[in-house]
A and B are shown apart, each in its own frame.
Chain A
Amino acid sequence: MINVENTKSQMRKGMLEYCIMLLLRHRPSYANDIIEQLKGAKMIVVEGTLYPLLNRLKKDGLLKYEWQESKQGPPRKYYALTMDGEEALRQLDASWTELATTVDILQSMPITPLLPEE
Chain B
Amino acid sequence: MKKNISINIFGTIYAIDEDAYQLLDNYLESMKNYFMRQEGGEEIADDIEHRVAELLWENKQNGMEAVSIEVIKEIISKIGNADQIDEETAIHENGENTNNGKENTNTSTTENSGQQEQAQSSAFFDKVKTHMRERHLYRNTNDKMLGGVCSGLSEYFGVGDPVLWRIGAIILTFVFMGAEYWFVPDFLHVFFPVAYIILWILVPEARTAEEKLRMRGKKITPENLSDQIVNDSEEQEAKTPQPVRNNGGCIRFFFYAFLLLLLAPMFLALLAVIIALIVAMFAAIFGVSALMAHPVPELAWLTDAISSNPYIVIMGLVAIIIVIGIPIYGIIRAIRRNTSPMRNGTLFTLIIAWIIALAISFAACGVVGVRAAEGFKVFHENHITIEQTTDSLENELDTIENYLEEEFTDSIINE
Contact = CB atoms under 8 A, between A and B. Distances in A.
B92 A49 contact: no
Contact of B12 (A3, A9, A73): A73
A52 B89 contact: yes
Interface string B7-36: 001111000000000000000000100010
Interface in A40-54: 44-49, 51-54
Interface string B71-94: 000000111110011001111100
Interface in B365-397: none
Given A6-B99, A59-B40, A74-B11, A46 B84 contact: yes
A55 interface: yes
A14 interface: yes
A41 to B, nearest CB: 14
Interface stretch (B44-52, B106-114, B201-209): B44-52
Given A32-B54, A74-B54, A74-B57, A52 B78 contact: no
B53 A55 contact: no
Contacts of A49: 80, 84-85, 88-89
For chain A, the bracket of interface size reads 20 to 34
B39 A52 contact: no
Top 10 nearest A-B pairs (CB, nearest first) are A46-B80, A73-B57, A74-B10, A48-B80, A49-B88, A48-B85, A51-B47, A48-B79, A74-B53, A47-B79
Interface of A: 3, 6, 9-10, 13-14, 31-32, 44-49, 51-56, 58-59, 72-77
Given A3-B99, A73-B57, A74-B12, 19 more contacts: A9-B88, A9-B95, A10-B92, A45-B84, A46-B79, A47-B78, A47-B80, A48-B48, A49-B88, A51-B47, A52-B44, A55-B47, A56-B40, A73-B12, A74-B11, A74-B50, A74-B57, A75-B10, A76-B54
